Structure 1
Amino acid sequence: MIGLESPVTTVLGDSKKSGKLTANLHLHTVGDLLRHFPRRYLETGKLTDVDDLEVGQMLTVIGEIESSKEHPYTDRRTGRTAYRLESVLRTGGPRLRMTFFAKKHHVSQWRLRQLPAGQRGLFLGKAETFNGQWKLTNPRMVLFGPGDADGSGGPGGPAGVGEADDIAAVEAIADLYPIYPLTKGIESWDFQRAITFARSVVDDLPELIPEAVRRELGLLDIVRAYDLIHAPDDRAQVHDAQRYFRFEEALVTQLVLGRRRRAVRDLGAVARDGGDGALLRTFDERLPFTLTDGQRSIGADLEADLARSHPMNRLLQGEVGSGKTLVALRAMLRVVDSGGQAALLAPTEVLAQQHHRAITALMGDLAAGGMLGGAPEGTGVELLTGSLTKAQRTAPMSRLASGESGIVIGTHALLEDKVQFADLGLVVVDEQHRFGVEQRAALTDKAAGTPPHVLVMTATPIPRTVAMTVFGDLETSTLTELPSGRAPIQTSVVNLLDHPGWMTRVWERVREEVAKGHQAYVVCPRISGDELEQGERDQVDLDEDGDLVPPAVEEAPRPLAAVEDGVVALAQGPLSGLRLAALHGRMPADEKDATMRAFAAGDIDVLVSTTVIEVGVDVANATIMVLLDADRFGVSQLHQLRGRVGRGGLPGLCLLVSAVDAESPARERLDAVASTTDGFALSRVDLEQRREGDVLGSSQAGRRSGLRHLQVLRDETTIVEARAAAEALLEADPALLGTPLLAQAVDSLEADTRGDFIEKS
C-alpha cells in the first residue's frame, strides 16, 4: 500500500530518476513529492488547428523539433555579438519556424542543447509570418521528451506512451498545465504523471487545520486542496488551493512563534523603571536642542517597555539622520538610572568609534562617572573593539564586570567570553542585519539570570526584519520626521554597458565638486583583488520562482573595482592632483581612525573606501558619491551608502556605476534606488528581490526563503489571519492536545534548529 511515507520510487518507477529527485530536490517520499507544488501554470487552452492559422493568433501546438541551428549576429544597438537560434517544428500540418534570441553565447548554447532534433513538446506563442513561413518568436514551451514513431516510448516517458497519448493528456488537463521546479534529467511530463498517480493512490492525508478554523475562513479541506494545486481547471481553483497551503504554513509558524513568545515572557526580565531618573533628567536638561515629537513619543514607549517584567523586543526604524541613536541613548541612560548596564553593538570599528565619540560628546562630564571631573550622577562609557590590545582592554573590562561603567559601545569584541557584566539590562543592536542570530545571542546570554531588554535599530528595514515584524515577533517604532539639515540627494545610474564613455564624465563631476571646496566618496566592492570587506558578500538575485540567478558570463571578464588598486589608479589618472586616501576594514584601527578624522577635517578630497563607511559616518562637506560596480550591492546597502552625502545642507549626488544588462534584476534594483529616497519603500523592493530569509532560523542573507509557500508582502493578510487563529488556539489549548496532528507539526518545526531564532533574538 502506497502512503505519504513510501519511497518516491513507488510512484515514479524509474530508480535513476528517483535518485535525481532525492539528491537534487530532496524529495525522498511520496509526501515530499505531493508537497512539491507547481511554480506556475501554463494556459494551454485548446490545441490549435495548424492547418487554419491566422497572423497574430495565439497558438498552442504539440510538435517535434526537426532541426535547430545557431546564428551569431551583431546587435545594432550595442555593437556586440548576439545570437539567434532557429528551430524547425513539425506539427502534422505546416512546419513552424521558432526563433529564440540570446545576448550571451552560453544562453544560446543551453537553448540549442534543449531543442535537439526529435525533441517533442507543447509550444505556445503568437503566430507570425516571415518570407512566406509561419513562425513563433521566443515561444513558451513544455518539453516532454522524444517518443518513437511506433509509440514504444523514449526518454520522455514509459514504454507504450506515444505522441497520441501525450496529446490526450494535454487535452485532459483542461486550460492549465502545471510547471514544476525540476532538476536535470527529470522531464515535466514524467513528473506530472508521477504526481497524478500519487494523487490517485494516496488517501490518508493529514488535516492540520482545525475544522472550525477552516469553516470560519472558508478554507478547503486537505484532499480538495491537493487535487486543485496539482490539477486545477481554472485560476480560481489555483487561488483556493494556494490559500489553503499558505494558511497552513502560516498557522504552524505562528503557533511556534506564539509558544516561544509565551516561553520568553515566562522567563521574565528585570523591570527598569528609571530609579530616581537623575542621569536621564540631567542629560535632557543639557541637550542643546529640543526633541522631536517622534523622539518623545517613542521614548515614552521604550520607557513603558523597560518598566515591564518581561523582555522588550522592539525595532526602531527611521531614515538616516532621523535621531535613532539619541532615542536609543536615552533608553540606555534610563537603564543605568535603574541600576543596570547597557551595551551598544555596532557592525564595524569605524561606526563603533564614531558612536563612542558622538555619545561621549553629547553626555559631556556625564560620561565620566567615577572619574576626576566627572558629574556625580554620571557613569562610565567604554569602547571595546577587536583592535584593542589585551592591556588596553583590561581596565574597561574590569569596570564593566564591577558595574562601575554603565554603558559600553563595541563591535564583535563584546561577544567574547572574557567580557562580563555586573547587570546587563539592555542590548542595543545598530544595523541589526549585519549581525547573525548567534552573535546577538552571545551578547544577550551575558545577562545574569533573566534575559535583557533588546532594541534593534535600522535605517532601512531589511528582509528578515520586515518579515519578523509582519510575523509579530518585534514591536515596531518608526521615526517619521524628515531628518533635519538634510538636502536632497540626486541618484543616477551610469550605464557603462551602452555608454562606456560616460565614465569620463563621472570623474569630471568629482573634480567639479572638489573644485567647489567639497569632498567625495568612491566606494568599491573589493579591498584588493577579489577580497571582500569583512562580513560582506555580493548581492544575489532570485528569479520569479525564488531560484538563484547565475551571474552573466562576460565575454571579456574584468576585475571588480578594489580600493587598494583603485586609489593608485585614480591618483595617477582621472583624479591626479587631488588628495586621495584609502579606507577599508583590513587597515590597522589607528590608521582607519586617523584617515576618518583627516577626511572629516577636510584634509582629504576623495576617500576611496569599501562599505565600512556605510553607516554612521557623518562628514557634512561630502557632496558626491561614486559607487563602482554598484550592482554588487543590495537595495538596503545602496540606500545606506548614499546617505553619507547631502548631510550638511548641501545637495548630494550619488552615481551608481554599473555594466549590467538593462533587463537584469540588478538593473531593476539600481533603477529602484535611483527613483526614490524613501527607505521604507525601498525595503519592500529589497524584500521582493531577496525574499524573507529564514524567518525561524539563523540564515540572514535572504537568498532562499525558509518559508515554502508564504511570501511576506504578498501574504500579509493570510499571516495576520493565522496569527489571530494561533493566539486563539493557544489561549484555549496551550498544549494543543485537542489537535494532535497540528501539535505534531508545531513540535517538528519547533525542534528544528531554525526555531532557535526566537530564543536567540
Structure 2
Amino acid sequence: MSVTVGTPVSSVMTNKRRVGALKSLGVLTVGDALTYYPFRVTDPVPLRSIREARIGELMAFTAEVRAVRVASSGARGNGRLEVVVDDSAFAASRRQPGAIARLVFFSHKKQYLDWMSGRLRQGTCVVVAGTPGVFNDQLQFTHPEVLTVGMHPTSRYKFVREENQPLDVHNVSLGAPTSPRPDVESPEEGLARVCRPRPVYHASSRISSDHIHDSILDMLRLLAESEDSAVSEEKEEEDSRACLMSGLARAIPDILPERIRADKNLMHRAEAFLNIHDPVSTKEFHRAIATLRYEEAFVCQTALLQARAHAGHASAEPCPDTALRDAMIDSLPFDLTDGQREVIDSIAADMSRDHPMQRLLQGEVGSGKTVVALAAMLQAVGSGHQAVLVAPTQVLAEQHHQTITAMVDRMTEQVVSDSDGHPLSAPPVILLTGGMKLAARRRA
C-alpha cells in the first residue's frame, strides 16, 4: 500500500482503539499526525551506574536481572512487582564497582504484573531509565522505563564515559536471547532510545503521550518506506536514519525555496518533521521548530501578497467625494494629529481608485482609530454608498453607535452646508446587533 500525507490513519493502523483516540485529538490523516506537534521536548537522559545515582535525578544504565518477585499488598488486591538488577558489567565500563537496585512496579491488574514479570526474567539483560529514590535504605526505581535486550553481552563491552553521549560498544560476544520478545537487539540500541530527547504531546485519558509518539514514528516510517524500499532494519542506526530521511524527502516535498532555506540555515521540511517527532538532540528539535515557524510565516505572507495582487486586478466603486468627511473633521472639538491626518489622506487616496483597498490600521488605545474609521465611512456615504462598522461584541457596538451618532449630530449642527453650498443632511446612523428582536432587525 502506498502511503501519503493524505492517507487516513485508519488505513495504516490496525489498533482501532488507538485510531479512535487519535481521531478524538483531530488526527485523521497521516498529515494530521505529522502536524500534531509536541509542546516540549525532554532533556537527554545521562548515563550513570547505580553507584553514581543521584536521588531525584533521571538516569539510564544497563543491568542484568538477578531476582523477580510478585507480591500482593493491601485488602484491595493491589500488586507489587520487585525486580533486583545488577549493573556490574556496565559499572566496570565506567570504572565503578557494581551495585544492585530494585525496580518496583505497582498495579491492581494481575495481567500487567504477569506480563512485566514474564519480560523481566532472571538473567535478562535490560536497559533502565528512571528516577532513583530510597525506600527502606535501599536504592529503588519506581515504574522506570525498561527495555529488554535480545542478545546478552558479556562483561567485555565498553561504553563511552561522558554523560549525554551515544553509546559505543566494542568486542561484544553475543549469546542466546534472554527475552522471548526483546525490545531492542543490543544495549547500544536501547540506551540510544531511552537517552535521546523525547517529545511530549498533549494527550488525553484515551491515549498517552508515549503512544502518540509511537504512532507518529510508525507513520513516518511508512511514509519513507513507501518511497524508498532501501530502508532496512539490518542497517546501522545512522544509515537507517539517512535512508529514512531520504524516503521522507521524496514523500514530503519542501515548500521553501532552496535559496531562502540555505540563507536562513533552515531544514528541509521532511527533516524538520523527523527532528520534531524523533529528535537526536534538543538543539535539532528547536531548529526544526524554527524551520516550520518560518515556513508558516512565509506561506502566510506569500498568500497575502497574492491576495493583494489579485485585488489590484479586481474592480471596485471609487469613492472620490470627501465633502461629508471634511465637514465632520471641521466640526471636531479638537485638531487632528499629523499621524491621523496622514492616515486619513492615505485611505482617501485608496478609496478614490477603482480597485479594492488593502489596509490594516494599527494604533494604541485612544489614538483616534474611531475618528479615522468614521472619516472613511463618511467618504463612502458622501459618494453615494453605505458603510458598516463591525464590532466583536454587542456592548462595543452600542458604544460605537453612541459615539458616531454624537459626532454626526455635532457635524450637522455646526456645518449647515457643504463646500459647494448645498444643504448638508445628516446620514442615518443605525445599530444592528444579533441580540435585537426580528422585527427590529428587519427595520434596521
TM-score, normalised via structure 2 length: 0.59
Structure 2, gaps ≥5 residues long: 63-67, 75-79, 86-99, 117-126, 149-178, 227-246
Aligned to 1:304: 349
> Structure 1 residues 358, 174: closer, same or farther in 2, change over 3 A?
same
Contact 1:360 1:367 in 2 (8 A): no
Aligned to 1:40: 40
Q: Does 1:351 align with 2:399?
A: yes
Matched residue type, 1:267: A
Aligned to 1:169: 190
CA distance in structure 2 between the partners assigned to 1:68 and 1:366 by the alignment: 91
Matched residue type, 1:335: A
Shift of 1:176: 1.1
Shift of 1:376: 1.2
Shift of 1:207: 1.2
Shift of 1:354: 1.9
Aligned to 1:58: 57
Of 279, 282, 288, 1:241 maps to: 288
Shift of 1:363: 1.8
Aligned to 1:3: 3
Instruction: Give the secondary structure class of the aligned counterpart of 1:308.
Output: coil
User: What is the aligned-residue identity percentage?
Assistant: 28
Shift of 1:282: 3.7
Q: Does 1:218 align with 2:265?
A: yes
Of 410, 424, 427, 1:377 maps to: 424
Q: Does 1:228 align with 2:275?
A: yes
> Structure 1 residues 68, 185: closer, same or farther in 2, change over 3 A?
farther
CA distance in structure 1 between the partners assigned to 2:10 and 2:367 by the alignment: 59
Of 351, 368, 383, 1:323 maps to: 368
CA distance in structure 2 between the partners assigned to 1:186 and 1:161 by the alignment: 24
Contact 2:40 2:201 in 1 (8 A): yes
Alpha-carbon deviations, 1:424-474, whole Å to 9, x = none?
xxxxxxxxxxxxxxxxxxxxxxxxxxxxxxxxxxxxxxxxxxxxxxxxxxx
CA distance in structure 2 between the partners assigned to 1:225 and 1:337 by the alignment: 54
Alpha-carbon deviations, 1:553-597, whole Å to 9, x = none?
xxxxxxxxxxxxxxxxxxxxxxxxxxxxxxxxxxxxxxxxxxxxx
Matched residue type, 1:94: A
Matched residue type, 2:225: V
Contact 2:44 2:281 in 1 (8 A): no
Matched residue type, 2:426: T
Shift of 1:97: 9.2
1:340-489 maps to which residues of 2 (within 5 A)? 340-346=385-391, 347-348=393-394, 350-351=398-399, 353-365=401-413, 376-385=423-432, 413=441
Aligned to 1:263: 310
Aligned to 2:252: 206
Aligned to 2:237: none
Alpha-carbon deviations, 1:152-206, whole Å to 9, x = none?
xxxxxx9824599899535336431233444545455555455445425242413
CA distance in structure 2 between the partners assigned to 1:65 and 1:342 by the alignment: 79
Matched residue type, 1:43: D
Contact 1:366 1:379 in 2 (8 A): no
Contact 1:2 1:10 in 2 (8 A): no
CA distance in structure 2 between the partners assigned to 1:90 and 1:163 by the alignment: 19
CA distance in structure 2 between the partners assigned to 1:178 and 1:68 by the alignment: 35
Instruction: Give the secondary structure class of the aligned counterpart of 1:260.
Output: helix
Contact 1:9 1:18 in 2 (8 A): yes
Alpha-carbon deviations, 1:110-139, whole Å to 9, x = none?
x9999x9849897655x6668856689xx9
Shift of 1:43: 1.9
1:104-115 maps to which residues of 2 (within 5 A)? none
CA distance in structure 1 between the partners assigned to 2:72 and 2:187 by the alignment: 22
1:738-749 maps to which residues of 2 (within 5 A)? none
CA distance in structure 2 between the partners assigned to 1:226 and 1:388 by the alignment: 49
Shift of 1:234: 1.4
Shift of 1:90: 5.8
Structure 1, gaps ≥5 residues long: 71-86, 99-110, 148-157, 394-412, 420-761
1:718-729 maps to which residues of 2 (within 5 A)? none
Contact 1:369 1:376 in 2 (8 A): yes
Contact 1:47 1:171 in 2 (8 A): no
Larger deviation: 167-176 or 223-232?
167-176
Aligned to 1:76: none
Contact 1:302 1:331 in 2 (8 A): yes
> Structure 1 residues 166, 226: closer, same or farther in 2, change over 3 A?
farther
Q: Once superposed, what is the RMSD of the aligned Cα atoms?
A: 5.0
Matched residue type, 1:58: E
CA distance in structure 2 between the partners assigned to 1:266 and 1:379 by the alignment: 35
Instruction: Give the secondary structure class of the aligned counterpart of 2:388.
Output: strand
Aligned to 1:295: 340
Shift of 1:341: 3.5
Aligned to 1:723: none
Matched residue type, 1:344: L
Contact 1:42 1:177 in 2 (8 A): yes
Alpha-carbon deviations, 1:684-739, whole Å to 9, x = none?
xxxxxxxxxxxxxxxxxxxxxxxxxxxxxxxxxxxxxxxxxxxxxxxxxxxxxxxx
Shift of 1:233: 1.8
> Structure 1 residues 383, 68: closer, same or farther in 2, change over 3 A?
farther
Shift of 1:237: 1.7
Alpha-carbon deviations, 1:6-60, whole Å to 9, x = none?
5546764434433433x323444445444444433222323443344345x6222
CA distance in structure 2 between the partners assigned to 1:283 and 1:13 by the alignment: 69
> Structure 1 residues 254, 113: closer, same or farther in 2, change over 3 A?
farther
Shift of 1:284: 3.3
CA distance in structure 1 between the partners assigned to 2:102 and 2:293 by the alignment: 44
CA distance in structure 2 between the partners assigned to 1:174 and 1:14 by the alignment: 28
Larger Rg: 2
Matched residue type, 1:239: H
CA distance in structure 2 between the partners assigned to 1:342 and 1:354 by the alignment: 16
> Structure 1 residues 232, 143: closer, same or farther in 2, change over 3 A?
same
CA distance in structure 2 between the partners assigned to 1:11 and 1:166 by the alignment: 30
Aligned to 2:383: 338
Contact 1:366 1:378 in 2 (8 A): no
1:275-290 maps to which residues of 2 (within 5 A)? 275=322, 277=323, 279-290=324-335
Contact 1:220 1:244 in 2 (8 A): yes
Instruction: Give the secondary structure class of the aligned counterpart of 2:429.
Output: strand
Instruction: Give the secondary structure class of the aligned counterpart of 1:94.
Output: strand
> Structure 1 residues 26, 37: closer, same or farther in 2, change over 3 A?
same
CA distance in structure 2 between the partners assigned to 1:31 and 1:380 by the alignment: 53
CA distance in structure 2 between the partners assigned to 1:355 and 1:159 by the alignment: 79
> Structure 1 residues 286, 302: closer, same or farther in 2, change over 3 A?
same
Alpha-carbon deviations, 1:343-378, whole Å to 9, x = none?
3345426425523542244324369999xxx98133
